């Protein structure tokens, strides 16, 4: 039962083969059984989950259900859930019970989904390994000595181990796609402005975007149908006509032009990973797609630009954590300055403090032009590169990450090496484009992710291409051993 996709579970709930209460119990038990090993969850919410499940069953009985009604899932602990701890992986928010629900939380609740917990993450979404969590690292279910990726590593690990059929994630520089790739699941980062950021604790506002982490592209489309759309509470949310993301899943992919940037297949990339990606692209070619070599000349600049823009916005976004109105406050502050400095130093972890300091520095007097403004200009160059590419091709493909999952603690003391692993994901955020990562085989017994990048609002095509791939391959059905009780 626990290996079913959302689409399958939806049918089973609908025809009465199983109830939401039964399903919720089943997944909750799996979470309880395996969380000690994987540490995917910061919080489990069995009581409210059972209540939602009972409500869902009542709706199903009355035939008032939607496609997602009654299906359990989990939220990344960055989404505010009213009355339920929302820590963002930080000691700073260890005691934080939001007085409101994020828009995404409200929307999935309205769709009848049953939230059974909040998943682990790098503190304030800063990281690529989920090792920067106050609650300890999450493990990769394919090899528990490896990281699950990050920052949405709790979500990717839990979905990969089938502790839950789907989860939400957020992606600022690859935080949905990279953990999806490293855990062998499907992760979609939508076009900036498609999914409301209201109630999603901000890391870097001009880059952050929430999205689904699922077993299949079809499931991602189902979640997108529930969470995408305009929100009056988010000024950067786009007013567009409603899109049904499932409509184009079965379109033919014949004649689709696929661009392969030479920078994504360079010598720095793990050869076994490249091999798997080339095999995957071969399948597209067999299905009638046209493969075209392209150039994204400024790819290498995306890391430096990103590591200026993101910390700059973060340093400002995280100023609100000052020990005054919510969150951690140090003991016995002697004066205001002491209250600020100690609350923040004790409440934030090392990576967060590092990025706050970088951000403060690049915005400070005398450095703004050389760093922040320069990065914003390079941001335009990167966006323009993509726009020229999309004149020749419909989508761009390559590996999601330069290598499969690395070992726990392997890069913890080398932040720059850790940052460089984001090379194929961050440029997408700088440009605000949509991209999906799907399972495309294994390298050294670890999952490899294929990234498909499209132009603005091309999610239906990305999902179509991913879905068609998943009709002819079974990588997305592979499940790690040891979680099959």
For residues 215-244, which are near other proteins according to CB under 8 A?
A: 232-236, 238-239
Task: Number of residues interacting with other proteins: please give it, by CB under 8 A.
Answer: 101
Q: How far is the CB of 35 from other proteins (least distance, A)?
A: 25
x/- letters, 279..308, toward other proteins (CB under 8 A):
-------------------x-xx-xxx-xx
Stretch that binds other proteins, among 163-171, 255-263, 368-376, 460-468 (CB under 8 A): 368-376
Q: How many CA atoms lie within 13 A of 274 on its CB side?
A: 12
Out of 44, 291, 326, 442, the residue judged to bind other proteins by CB under 8 A: 326
Stretch that binds other proteins, among 20-28, 51-59, 379-387, 389-397 (CB under 8 A): 379-387
Considering beta carbons, is residue 112 or 454 the nearer one to other proteins?
454
Out of 254, 335, 474, 481, the residue judged to bind other proteins by CB under 8 A: 335
Q: How far is the CB of 201 from other proteins (least distance, A)?
A: 4
Stretch that binds other proteins, among 8-16, 258-266, 285-293, 329-337 (CB under 8 A): 329-337
Show the CA angle centred on residue 30, arms to residues 27 and 35, nearest 5°: 125
Considering beta carbons, is residue 98 or 153 the nearer one to other proteins?
98
Out of 54, 257, 290, 353, the residue judged to bind other proteins by CB under 8 A: 353
Q: Which of 52, 133, 152, 175 is catalytic?
A: 175
Contacts of residue 64, Cβ cutoff 8 Å, sequence gap at least 6: none
Residues 421-440 that bind other proteins (CB under 8 A): 430-433
Out of 48, 248, 376, 471, the residue judged to bind other proteins by CB under 8 A: 376
The reply on whether position 383 binds other proteins by CB under 8 A is yes
Out of 14, 48, 248, 316, the residue judged to bind other proteins by CB under 8 A: 316
Q: How far is the CB of 482 from other proteins (least distance, A)?
A: 36
Would you call 76 a catalytic residue per the annotation? yes
Stretch that binds other proteins, among 51-59, 335-343, 393-401, 442-450 (CB under 8 A): 335-343
Q: Which of 20, 76, 152, 461 is catalytic?
A: 76
Give helix 217-227 / helix 103-110 axis angle, nearest 10°.
110
Considering beta carbons, is residue 145 or 233 the nearer one to other proteins?
233
Q: Which of 151, 315, 437, 458 is catalytic?
A: 151
Residues 85-144 that bind other proteins (CB under 8 A): 86, 88, 93, 95-100, 102
Instruction: Give the integer Cα–Cα distance in Å for 132 and 412.
Output: 9
Stretch that binds other proteins, among 65-73, 190-198, 273-281, 476-484 (CB under 8 A): 190-198
Considering beta carbons, is residue 228 or 433 the nearer one to other proteins?
433
Considering beta carbons, is residue 139 or 379 the nearer one to other proteins?
379
Considering beta carbons, is residue 64 or 387 the nearer one to other proteins?
387
The reply on whether position 197 binds other proteins by CB under 8 A is yes
- By CB atoms closer than 10 A (0-12, 13-18, 19+), residue 22 is middle
Q: Among residues 139, 181, 185, which one has the least CA distance to residue 159?
A: 185
Token pair in block for residue 449: 């992710």
Stretch that binds other proteins, among 47-55, 154-162, 212-220, 338-346 (CB under 8 A): 338-346
Q: How far is the CB of 208 from other proteins (least distance, A)?
A: 9
The reply on whether position 338 binds other proteins by CB under 8 A is yes
Token pair in block for residue 267: 């010598």
Stretch that binds other proteins, among 29-37, 151-159, 250-258, 340-348 (CB under 8 A): 340-348
Residues 385-424 that bind other proteins (CB under 8 A): 415-416, 419-420
Considering beta carbons, is residue 27 or 192 the nearer one to other proteins?
192
Out of 9, 126, 378, 426, the residue judged to bind other proteins by CB under 8 A: 378
The reply on whether position 334 binds other proteins by CB under 8 A is yes
The reply on whether position 40 binds other proteins by CB under 8 A is no
Q: Among residues 119, 123, 125, which one has the least CA distance to residue 158?
A: 119
Main-chain phi, psi angles of 168, to 5 degrees: -95, 155
The strand order across the sheet containing 446-454 reads: 41-44, 114-119, 72-76, 166-170, 210-214, 186-189, 435-443, 446-454, 395-399, 257-261, 290-294
Give the active site residues.
76, 151, 175
């Amino acid at each position: 039962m626990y290996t079913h996709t959302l689409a399958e579970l939806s049918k089973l709930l609908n025809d009465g083969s199983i109830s939401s209460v039964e399903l919720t119990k089943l997944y909750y038990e799996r979470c309880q059984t395996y969380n000690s090993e994987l540490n995917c969850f910061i919080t489990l919410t069995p009581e409210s989950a059972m209540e939602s499940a009972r409500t869902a069953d009542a709706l199903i009985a009355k035939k008032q259900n939607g496609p997602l009604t009654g299906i359990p899932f989990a939220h990344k602990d960055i989404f505010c859930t009213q009355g339920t701890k929302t820590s963002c992986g930080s000691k700073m928010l260890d005691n934080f019970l939001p007085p409101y629900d994020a828009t995404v939380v409200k929307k999935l609740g309205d769709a009848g989904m049953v939230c059974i917990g909040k998943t682990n993450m790098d503190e304030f979404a800063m990281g690529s390994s989920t090792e920067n969590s106050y609650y300890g690292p999450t493990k990769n279910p394919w090899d528990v000595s490896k990281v699950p990726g990050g920052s949405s590593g709790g979500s990717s690990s839990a979905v990969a181990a089938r502790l839950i059929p789907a989860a939400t994630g957020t992606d600022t520089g690859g935080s949905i796609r990279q953990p999806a790739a490293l855990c062998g699941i499907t992760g979609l980062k939508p076009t900036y402005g498609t999914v409301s950021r209201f109630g999603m604790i901000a890391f870097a506002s001009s880059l952050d975007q929430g999205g689904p982490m699922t077993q299949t592209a079809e499931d991602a489309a189902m979640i997108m149908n529930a969470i995408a759309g305009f929100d009056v509470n988010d000024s950067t949310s786009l007013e567009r006509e409603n899109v049904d993301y499932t409509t184009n899943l079965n379109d033919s992919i014949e004649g689709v032009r696929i661009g392969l940037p030479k920078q994504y297949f360079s010598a720095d990339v793990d050869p076994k990973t490249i091999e798997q990606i080339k095999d995957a692209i071969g399948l597209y070619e067999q299905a009638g797609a046209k493969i075209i070599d392209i150039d994204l000349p400024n790819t290498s600049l995306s890391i430096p630009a990103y590591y200026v823009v993101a910390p700059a916005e973060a340093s400002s976004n995280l100023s609100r954590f000052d020990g005054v109105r919510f969150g951690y406050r140090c003991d016995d502050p002697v004066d205001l300055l002491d209250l600020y400095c100690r609350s923040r130093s004790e409440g934030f972890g090392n990576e967060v403090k590092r990025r706050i300091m970088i951000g403060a520095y690049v915005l400070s007097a005398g450095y703004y032009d050389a760093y922040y403004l320069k990065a914003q200009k390079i941001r335009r160059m990167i966006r323009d590169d993509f726009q020229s590419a999309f004149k020749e091709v419909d989508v761009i493909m390559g590996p999601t990450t330069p290598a499969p999952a690395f070992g726990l603690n392997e890069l913890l003391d080398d932040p720059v090496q850790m940052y460089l692993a984001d090379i194929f994901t961050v440029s997408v955020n700088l440009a605000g484009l949509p991209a999906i990562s799907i399972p495309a085989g294994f390298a050294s017994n670890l999952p490899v992710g294929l990234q498909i990048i499209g132009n603005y609002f091309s999610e239906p095509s990305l999902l179509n291409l991913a879905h068609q791939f998943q009709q002819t391959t079974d990588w997305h059905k592979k499940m790690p051993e040891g979680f099959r009780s």
